[in-house]
Copies of this chain bind each other. A is one copy, B any other.
Amino acid sequence: MLKNSMQYSHIVLQEIINKGDNVIDATMGNGHDTQFLAKSVGATGHVYAFDIQQDAINHTKDRLTQLDLISQTTLINDSHSKIDNYVSNPISAAIFNLGYLPGNNKSIITHFSTTIPAINSCLRLLKVGGRIAVVCYYGHPGGKDELDHITHYLSQIEQQEFSVLRYEFLNQINQPPILLIIEKK
């Protein structure tokens, strides 16, 4: 089976993450990606994970503690637009899961006015060969607007410095997420 956007985001990040790397989970949510990243960087690496909702921090803390992955993780209860305040080391990878926290308040959604600055911070921190995966859910109100702004922004970044790939299923009525991958050359 062809990989869906979420599965493919993990594959393309797994290809370039090494033990000991610093990485960012820009949208912690229920901590699935944080777990994946913490396992990938190992005990000698570090994951900086962001979310504005305390629920996300709590769920992720429980999850990672149970899996003995908490020591290589910093859970940050702040907007991903403030990444620069918390991370200064070069990163090999970052992941964004845009939309709303599943099972939670659907009125709290990500918005391009903060996700684009956050992506921009990650671009500046990214090492050569590093990748950023942006999984865009866009079926909810405001989702298409965010996707369009991010796509426009990424279409114009310097092609000498970055490649931007769009990975999208076309014939699905339920608007599955679209994956954007940025790689630093």
Chain A interface residues (CB < 8 Å from chain B): 1-2, 12, 131, 151, 154-159, 162-173, 180-181, 183
Contact = CB atoms under 8 A, between A and B. Distances in A.
A163 B169 contact: yes
A153 to B, nearest CB: 10
Given A165-B2, A166-B166, A171 B183 contact: no
B170 A154 contact: yes
Contact of A172 (B2, B159, B170, B172): B159
A33 B131 CA distance: 29
Contact of A156 (B131, B158, B171): B171
Contacts of A156: 171
Contacts of A1: 163, 183
A183 B158 CA distance: 33
Contacts of A12: 2
Contact of A170 (B155, B158, B169, B173): B155
Nearest to A12: B2
Contact of A151 (B159, B163, B170): B170
